[in-house]
Amino acid sequence: MNDKSYRKNVGLIVLNKNNQLLICRRKGKRTWQFPQGGIDVGESEVNAAYRELYEEVGIKKNHVNIIQKSHQWYRYELPARYKPWPKSLKNFKGQTQKWFMLKANNELEINLGNEIPQEFVEHKWATYWHSLACVVPFKRGVYRKVLSEFLPKYIQLSND
């Protein structure tokens, strides 16, 4: 994905030992989302995924395994009604995302205070499709597509 009007980003679907998905509530919002964040210049997608995982929810790289990476980039545009946009998105129409599904090795301890300013204020473990009901509407289409792409692997994990 080389369209420079979209910020490159990684999205993270984290599964606990019971195959529940981690969703987080943004500070000052009622909506929930999966952890996600920008890819720095010169940074690989995988390194960005691990960095964002630690920054946003305090999960270290050695506590999870990457189970699947999305085959394509998914993108969404930021609706005008959500302005002012964060500084990191100021010059972009939206974001293009490479998604990762990660599985916990053991019980995970979530720490939402690693990043300053803090992005998330609450987290919960949810069933597979629950995130569609509580995500901000403009991201719902991307979530549906990503969850559909990852569903066969999720079913396989659930049956193991």
Task: Give the domain ranges of the chain.
Answer: 6-159
Please determine, looking at this structure, whether the domain spanning 6-159 carries the CATH number 3.10.50.40: no
Q: In Å, how far are 15, 37, 66, 133, 135 from 141, measured between CA atoms?
A: 21, 18, 23, 11, 10
For residue 61, what pLDDT is reported? 96
For residue 148, what pLDDT is reported? 97
Assign residue 122 a region (left: φ > 0; alpha: ψ between -120 and 50; beta: otherwise).
beta
For residue 118, what pLDDT is reported? 87
Helix (H) or strand (E) holding 153: helix 140-159
Q: What is the mean pLDDT of the chain?
A: 91
Per-residue pLDDT of the chain (160 residues; tens, 9 = 90+): 567 888 899 999 999 999 999 999 988 888 899 999 999 999 999 999 999 999 999 999 999 999 999 999 999 988 877 655 555 556 778 899 999 999 999 999 999 998 888 889 999 999 999 989 999 889 999 999 999 999 999 999 988 8
CA 133 to chain centre: 16
Interatomic CA distance for residues 113 and 129, integer angstroms: 27
pTM of the model: 0.91
Interatomic CA distance for residues 138 and 151, integer angstroms: 21
